């Protein structure tokens, strides 16, 4: 190899190593993003699980796996580029192509399912499960108990912490038939007590005013934005950051393949 070609080859390999270093950093960032989403700090998983379609969580789990795999494989790739042996480079290329396919699945899953969470989905779920009597025939109904208790606790927490009521507003509780309405009269409890304004000690400020819907003693805002907002945001982050990683990784893989073809057999 002539000195000029040797210099160009060294520069090209340095560029590929830097490209893999970026992939390693992106892999760590993707893992952190997916861990934050999976940890479910907002307590949203039970609401998503009850819809029967928790694919957005599956996409985050795949993203966590691919983030770790990208980090490890890119480190291996830097070693492969330094030694520049065909068998090692081929192993790196095959591993990266497999991981690339998994990340494509993760990004597409997160991107397509974040639009699944429409208000009517959570409204139906709330009306059907909030304060629903627990079934007796165990253990076949453990999943139902988990959903009922989880949804009731989640809605109580959202309405208390976010100072909201229902999906669209308090009228959800009186406009539609629900288990809560079957167990309570409109005169005594037209909506859950969590819809009422509370003082610093957690006591209801003015119960009678809340019952008749006097503002600000009744939270008039719906909770949909507080529920769907984090889901859509996290889904958007996992999907589009994943797509950005895929674009960068695609060109790095092409570069490594070109380098592989230039090596002597």
Over the stretch 17-74, which tens digit does the pLDDT of each residue have?
Answer: 999 999 999 999 999 998 988 888 878 888 888 887 778 888 888 889 999 999 999 9
Q: Does the residue 45 lie in any domain? A: no
What pLDDT, on the 0 to 100 scale, is given for residue 114?
64
Same domain flag for 176 and 216: yes
Same domain flag for 133 and 203: yes
Q: Does the residue 67 lie in any domain? A: yes
Over the stretch 139-188, which tens digit does the pLDDT of each residue have?
Answer: 557 788 888 899 999 999 999 999 999 999 999 998 999 988 888 887 88
Same domain flag for 60 and 155: no
Over the stretch 245-255, which tens digit does the pLDDT of each residue have?
Answer: 999 999 999 99
Helix (H) and strand (E) counts in the chain: 10, 0
What pLDDT, on the 0 to 100 scale, is given for residue 196?
92
Q: Does the residue 48 lie in any domain? A: no
What pLDDT, on the 0 to 100 scale, is given for residue 79?
94
Same domain flag for 104 and 15: yes
Q: Does the residue 60 lie in any domain? A: yes
Same domain flag for 128 and 110: no
Over the stretch 83-98, which tens digit does the pLDDT of each residue have?
Answer: 989 999 999 999 999 9
Same domain flag for 112 and 243: yes
Please say whether the beta carbons of 70 and 76 come within 8 A.
no
Over the stretch 107-123, which tens digit does the pLDDT of each residue have?
Answer: 888 788 766 788 888 99
Alpha-carbon distance of 194 to 204, in angstroms, equals 9
What pLDDT, on the 0 to 100 scale, is given for residue 262?
85
Same domain flag for 185 and 168: yes
What pLDDT, on the 0 to 100 scale, is given for residue 70?
95
Q: Does the residue 46 lie in any domain? A: no
Question: What is the span of the domain harbouring residue 123?
Answer: 119-223
The whole-angstrom distance between residue 186's C-alpha and the CA centroid of its chain comes to: 37
Please say whether the beta carbons of 103 and 63 come within 8 A.
yes
DSSP alpha helices (H): ranges in 169-223? 171-175, 179-183, 207-211
Q: Does the residue 257 lie in any domain? A: yes
Count Cβ atoms within 10 A of the Cβ of residue 102 and give its class: 0-12 exposed, 13-18 middle, 19 or more buried: middle
Over the stretch 211-245, which tens digit does the pLDDT of each residue have?
Answer: 888 888 999 999 999 888 888 888 888 888 989 99
Same domain flag for 177 and 94: no
Same domain flag for 61 and 143: no
Same domain flag for 90 and 17: yes
Q: Does the residue 102 lie in any domain? A: yes
Alpha-carbon distance of 17 to 30, in angstroms, equals 20
pLDDT category of residue 5 using cuts at 50, 70 and 90: low
Same domain flag for 134 and 84: no
What pLDDT, on the 0 to 100 scale, is given for residue 134?
78
Same domain flag for 100 and 138: no
pLDDT category of residue 6 using cuts at 50, 70 and 90: confident
Q: Does the residue 1 lie in any domain? A: no
Q: Give the chain's domain count.
A: 2
């Amino acid at each position: 190899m002539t000195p000029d070609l040797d210099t160009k080859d060294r520069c090209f390999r340095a560029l590929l190593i830097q490209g893999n270093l970026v992939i390693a950093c992106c892999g760590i960032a993707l893992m952190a993003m997916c861990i934050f989403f999976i940890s479910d700090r907002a307590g949203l998983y039970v609401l998503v699980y009850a819809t029967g379609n928790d694919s957005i969580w599956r996409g985050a789990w795949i993203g966590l796996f691919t983030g770790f795999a990208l980090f490890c494989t890119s480190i291996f790739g830097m070693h492969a580029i330094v030694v520049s042996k065909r068998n090692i480079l081929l192993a790196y290329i095959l591993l990266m192509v497999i991981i690339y396919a998994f990340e494509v699945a993760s990004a597409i899953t997160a991107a397509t399912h974040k639009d699944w969470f429409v208000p009517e989905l959570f409204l139906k779920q709330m009306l059907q499960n909030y304060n629903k009597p627990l079934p007796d025939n165990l253990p076949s109904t453990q999943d139902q108990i988990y959903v009922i208790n989880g949804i009731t606790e989640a809605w109580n927490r959202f309405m208390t912490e976010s100072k909201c009521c229902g999906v669209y507003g308090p009228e959800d509780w009186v406009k539609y038939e629900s288990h809560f309405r079957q167990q309570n009269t409109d005169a005594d409890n037209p909506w859950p007590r969590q819809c009422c304004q509370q003082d610093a000690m957690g006591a209801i400020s003015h119960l009678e005013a809340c019952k008749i819907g006097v503002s600000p003693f009744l939270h008039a805002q719906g909770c949909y934005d507080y529920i769907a907002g984090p889901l859509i945001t996290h889904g958007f982050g996992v999907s589009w950051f994943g797509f950005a990683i895929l674009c960068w990784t695609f060109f790095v893989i092409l570069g490594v393949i070109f380098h592989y073809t230039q090596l002597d057999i």
